[in-house]
Copies of this chain bind each other. A is one copy, B any other.
Amino acid sequence: MLTQTHAIQFSDPLPLQSGARIRDYTLMYETYGTLNAAGDNAVLICHALNASHHVAGINAQGELGWWDNMVGAGKPVDTNRFFVVGVNNLGSCFGSTGPMHNNPDTGKPYGADFPLITVEDWVDAQKRLMDALNIKQWAAVMGGSLGGMQALAWSVHYPNAVRNCVVIASTTKLSAQNIAFNDVARQAILNDPDFHGGHFYAHGVVPRQGLRVARMIGHITYLSDDDMAEKFGRDLRNSADYGFNYGVEFEIESYLRYQGDKFADYFDANTYLLTTKALDYYDAAREFGGDLSRALAATQARYLIASFSTDWRFSPECSRELVKALVKNKRAVTYAEIDAPHGHDAFLLSDARYHNVVKAYFDLIPTQADA
């Protein structure tokens, strides 16, 4: 399946939670499958930190979508039945308006002046795309990690617009430990001399070292301790003996540095900063004095919540808290706690038990068959 990327422009300023506004912005999106005549088979996929609108299939650059194992013909989110929309969020570095684009007020790249965006802001921007696509109600909004926060926020802020809400490996709010990891990563970027206060584009440089460290920290937290032990253990890369220097020595060092280098090659530092800040800020119960049950009182969707046993970044405990608050509101909730060894990364991987749960759930979502 060769996918086509679409760009849609919005001239109306989008008001943000910070009080700032963004005008003349573009959202990139892809669609898979066909919207039926009843318009009741549309599914929105929200992306996490470093992903994009390219969810499934192969794009013009030859890249496979980041959730291609989940979305496609005959896959858990079956594009033979569903019309799936992948959207790239504001502030991203994959095509939608972000820090590297020109600020219409100055004619220069936003850089660090790009406003901070919240999960709720992203959802508001996605709502405009929904309207533009003439979709009246999503059959489902779905996401993992930060994407799961967006799915949840959809069901809270646009309760009529979401029939099913699918929240995977996510949480209603980050823990202090999560915020701490994000802040250290941000500090590494902010204090990189090549960051230039966020206006590094003008200097023709990239804060590579900061991005590398940020990604390495992140990567450690996406894997489980056991998974790392299994994959890398204490194996040495090139030699039977220690080298007694600071070069690459253990396999795990080689792996992490490679991940860090790769990330620094393609990811934007300002996007990293604002995305981790959106993660830190999200707190579903915040407007309701910390009472999650109350925060969910207006919801109308049915829910599928899934978590992974070895995910210590967004632990099963976080998902169970959400499930409890939904049950307290008498919402229909399916909860799957998947025993999987791959930590937080599990939500992106192919796992039969996980995919069967999602498939079974989507198979039971009624849509009107076209004549």
Contacts and interface: CB of A to CB of B under 8 A. Distances in A.
A283 to B, nearest CB: 7
Given A177-B228, A234-B173, A183 B252 contact: yes
Chain A at the B interface: SS class: helix
Given A180-B253, A244-B18, A244-B116, A225 B187 contact: no
- Counting every copy of the chain, the complex holds 2
Interface in A153-180: 173-177, 179-180
Interface string A253-284: 10011001000000000000100010011010
A176 B232 contact: yes
Given A217-B217, A228-B177, A246-B273, A184 B115 contact: no
Interface stretch (A36-44, A48-56, A99-107, A188-196): A188-196
A344 to B, nearest CB: 13
A213 interface: yes
A15 interface: no
A180 B220 contact: yes
A289 B102 CA distance: 60
A224 to B, nearest CB: 8
A188 B213 contact: yes
Contact of A177 (B177, B191, B220, B260): B220
A21 to B, nearest CB: 13
Contacts of A242: 17-18, 281
Contacts of A174: 234
Nearest to A175: B229
Contact of A190 (B176, B191, B246): B246
B246 A184 contact: no
Contacts of A234: 173-174, 176, 179, 283
A128 to B, nearest CB: 21
A252 B220 contact: no
A361 interface: no
A53 B245 CA distance: 26
A181 interface: yes
A200 B250 CA distance: 27
A212 interface: yes
B115 A183 contact: no
A186 interface: yes
A213 B187 contact: yes
A3 interface: no
A209 interface: yes
Contacts of A18: 242, 244
A176 B213 contact: no
A216 interface: yes
Looking at A19, A176, A191, the one whose CB has the most chain B CB atoms below 10 A away is: A176
Nearest to A208: B191
A13 interface: no
Nearest to A247: B190
Given A225-B177, A234-B174, A184 B217 contact: yes
Given A183-B250, A184-B213, A256-B180, A115 B277 contact: no
Interface in A267-309: 273, 277, 280-281, 283
Contacts of A212: 187, 191
A75 to B, nearest CB: 32
A233 interface: yes
Interface of A: 17-20, 115-116, 173-177, 179-181, 183-184, 186-188, 190-193, 209, 212-213, 216-217, 220, 223, 225, 228-229, 231-234, 242, 244-246, 250-253, 256-257, 260, 273, 277, 280-281, 283, 312
